[in-house]
């Protein structure tokens, strides 16, 4: 069974082609700068053959056609006919309240994803473009939508409602949706496997720490709370997003600086977080480097980043009445061992302890807590694409 996984963004498309018999990625790649100058495709096969094609890619349709050409290419290709692809799995950002699970895409599903474009304006329209282009190229092949929000639809009302007038929930469905759900689902399930215990019996806190960052509390196999909200802006300090702030700050700064709501929105989404505090970069590697060289604001940015995570872990332990395991994943969670060490050190009063040797790991699955730690701590590289491929296979 061959499954194509597509993650279609505003100017990019990422793809992976899976052979599901062995769960092997036979080829993967990405198309960047769609519709802008210097667009290109990068492609790599399981055997390690790599190619890069620099050419004008005016839109997503052209991008997906180019991807197909490469998948069928004599030298770099991995299939002989487009018909060998059995199904396509699409990452879709916002599934609103309706999509509690992944689903086979039909006209009705497309219409509902369209309706949720106002909740996910930066992603859903592009996810839909990917779906439409694939449908045109492979009209007879099933397509599946896997939503970032689905995993969080199990949250209880007390966790997802904001204390605003209830009518905004009734009229506009203003609530906490949460994101990175496919990643939280993958790593929390994998954590249970590594612990050799039933997923349904565990309390897990999953920390997805990348350029976008969120935490999820998973109790008895269900998400019970998560840090992102109606949009991905809420919660942790991120690369360029501020996360939690006093909402009254928005009016205060807008008045002081004479900003429009769009300008303020951009400041909170694109100019805050690690970048905003450090003034150096949104990339934690640059910020760490500067902090090591004595830059005060870079050090402060990292302190804020870690402190917010410590607070959320404490809050989610209280929410679940304890925790069995904490998982770190995504770019920072998988690679920045200083961040992990600093966070767990602040939780030392609970008897949670890291093994400094084990914690040196980068990008590999590993238990990094000591044998006598009260809570197990793991690094588990996320694999959203595999999760999408598995869901697609299960549904078809
Ligand atoms: P993501 O959004 O998951 O791709 O994560 C991006 C973040 O992970 C950036 O802040 C990077 O600095 C960080 N990151 C990615 N790879 C590494 C690495 N090998 N070492 C340290 N940080 C990394």
Which residue among the candidates 118, 140, 148, 283 is catalytic per the annotation? 148
Distance set, CA 207 to CA 51, 183, 216, 275, 280 (Å): 34, 10, 7, 20, 24
Cβ-proximal residues to 394 (8 Å cutoff; 6+ apart), any chain = none
The confidence score (pLDDT) of residue 122 equals: 84
Which of 307, 250, 298, 249 is closest to 274 using CA atoms? Answer: 298
The confidence score (pLDDT) of residue 1 equals: 96
Evaluate if residue 9 carries a pLDDT over 90. no
2-147 shares its CATH topology with 196-379: yes
Pocket flag, ligand 1, residue 96 (CB < 6 Å): no
Helix then strand count (H, E) for the chain reads 14, 14
In this prediction, residues 257-270 reach a mean pLDDT of: 97
The share of the chain scoring above pLDDT 90, in percent, equals 97
In this prediction, residues 269-289 reach a mean pLDDT of: 97
Which of 43, 54, 112 is closest to 76 using CA atoms? Answer: 43
Element containing residue 32 per DSSP (H, E): strand 24-32
What pLDDT, in 10s, does the model give residues 115-134? 999 998 889 999 999 999 99
What residue's CA is closest to ligand 1, atom 19?
335
* Contact between residue 30 and residue 41 where contact means Cβ atoms under 8 Å apart: yes
* Contact between residue 94 and residue 124 where contact means Cβ atoms under 8 Å apart: yes
The stretches of 293-375 forming alpha helices (DSSP H) are 296-320, 330-335, 337-346
What residue's CA is closest to ligand 1, atom 16?
331
Please give the Cα distance from 93 to 9 (Å, whole number). 10
Evaluate if residue 347 carries a pLDDT over 90. yes
Candidate from 60-69, 219-228, 295-304, 333-342 with smallest mean pLDDT: 60-69
Evaluate if residue 10 carries a pLDDT over 90. no
C-alpha 335 to ligand 1 mean position (Å):
7
CATH topology of domain 2-147: Nucleotidyltransferase; domain 5 (3.30.420)
**Coil vs helix vs strand at 322:** coil
Pocket flag, ligand 1, residue 209 (CB < 6 Å): no
What pLDDT, in 10s, does the model give residues 297-311? 999 999 999 999 999
Pocket flag, ligand 1, residue 330 (CB < 6 Å): yes
* Contact between residue 306 and residue 299 where contact means Cβ atoms under 8 Å apart: no
In this prediction, residues 207-225 reach a mean pLDDT of: 97
Pocket flag, ligand 1, residue 211 (CB < 6 Å): yes
Evaluate if residue 254 carries a pLDDT over 90. yes
C-alpha 284 to ligand 1 mean position (Å):
7
Pocket flag, ligand 1, residue 239 (CB < 6 Å): yes
The confidence score (pLDDT) of residue 11 equals: 86
Residue 208 CA: which ligand 1 atom is closest?
3
| Most informative mutation of 286, 335, 363 for ligand 1 (most atoms within 8 A of CB) | 335
C-alpha 336 to ligand 1 mean position (Å):
8
The confidence score (pLDDT) of residue 98 equals: 96
In this prediction, residues 368-383 reach a mean pLDDT of: 98
Q: Across the beta sheet with 13-19, what order do the strands follow?
A: 50-54, 40-45, 24-32, 13-19, 2-8, 87-92, 143-147, 103-104
Pocket flag, ligand 1, residue 355 (CB < 6 Å): no
Q: Would residue 83 show up in a list of annotated catalytic residues for this protein?
A: no
C-alpha 257 to ligand 1 mean position (Å):
33
pLDDT, the chain, mean: 97
What pLDDT, in 10s, does the model give residues 84-120? 999 999 999 999 999 999 999 999 999 999 999 999 8
Angle, in degrees to the nearest 10, between helices 181-195 and 384-395: 90
| Most informative mutation of 301, 336, 362, 383 for ligand 1 (most atoms within 8 A of CB) | 336
In this prediction, residues 197-205 reach a mean pLDDT of: 98
Evaluate if residue 152 carries a pLDDT over 90. yes
In this prediction, residues 370-379 reach a mean pLDDT of: 98
Backbone angles phi, psi at 224, to 5 degrees: -110, -15
**Coil vs helix vs strand at 215:** strand
Evaluate if residue 190 carries a pLDDT over 90. yes
* Contact between residue 2 and residue 86 where contact means Cβ atoms under 8 Å apart: yes
The confidence score (pLDDT) of residue 2 equals: 97
Domain ranges of the chain: 2-147, 196-379
Please give the Cα distance from 227 to 180 (Å, whole number). 10
| Most informative mutation of 331, 333, 364, 379 for ligand 1 (most atoms within 8 A of CB) | 331
Q: Is 3.40.50.150 the CATH classification of the domain at 196-379?
A: no
Evaluate if residue 232 carries a pLDDT over 90. yes
The confidence score (pLDDT) of residue 18 equals: 98
């Amino acid at each position: 069974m061959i499954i194509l996984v597509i993650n279609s963004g505003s100017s990019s498309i990422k793809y992976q082609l899976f052979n599901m018999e062995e769960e092997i990625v036979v080829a993967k790649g990405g198309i960047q700068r769609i519709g802008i100058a210097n667009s290109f495709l990068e492609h790599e096969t399981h055997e390690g053959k790599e190619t890069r094609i620099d050419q004008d890619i005016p839109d997503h349709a052209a991008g997906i056609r180019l991807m197909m050409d490469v998948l069928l290419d004599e030298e770099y290709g991995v299939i002989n006919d487009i018909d060998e692809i059995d199904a396509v799995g699409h990452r879709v950002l916002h599934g609103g309240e309706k999509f509690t699970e992944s689903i086979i895409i039909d006209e009705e599903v497309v219409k509902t994803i369209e309706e949720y474009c106002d909740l996910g304006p930066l992603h859903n329209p592009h996810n839909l473009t990917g779906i439409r282009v694939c449908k045109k190229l492979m009209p007879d092949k099933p397509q599946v939508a896997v939503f970032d929000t689905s995993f969080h639809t199990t949250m209880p009302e007390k966790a997802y409602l904001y204390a605003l007038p209830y009518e905004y929930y009734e009229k506009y469905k203003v609530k906490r949706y949460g994101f990175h759900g496919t990643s939280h689902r993958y790593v929390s399930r994998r954590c249970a496997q590594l612990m050799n215990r039933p997923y349904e019996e565990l309390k897990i806190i999953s920390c997805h720490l990348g350029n976008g960052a969120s935490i999820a509390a998973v109790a008895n196999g269900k998400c019970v709370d998560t840090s992102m909200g109606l949009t991905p802006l809420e919660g942790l300090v991120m690369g360029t997003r501020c996360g939690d702030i006093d909402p009254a700050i928005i009016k205060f700064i807008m008045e002081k600086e004479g900003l429009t709501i769009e300008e303020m929105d951009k400041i909170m989404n694109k100019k805050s977080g690690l970048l905003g505090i450090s003034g150096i970069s949104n990339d934690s590697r640059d910020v760490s480097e500067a902090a090591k060289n004595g830059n005060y604001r870079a050090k402060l940015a990292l302190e804020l980043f870690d402190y917010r995570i410590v607070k959320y872990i404490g809050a989610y332990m209280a929410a679940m009445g304890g925790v069995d395991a904490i998982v770190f994943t995504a770019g920072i969670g998988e690679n920045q061992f200083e961040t992990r060490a600093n966070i767990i050190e602040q939780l030392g009063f609970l008897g949670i302890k890291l093994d400094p040797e084990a914690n040196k790991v980068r990008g590999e699955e590993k238990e990094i807590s000591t044998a006598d730690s009260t809570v197990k701590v793991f690094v588990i590289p996320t694999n959203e694409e595999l999760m999408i491929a598995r869901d697609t296979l299960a549904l078809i």
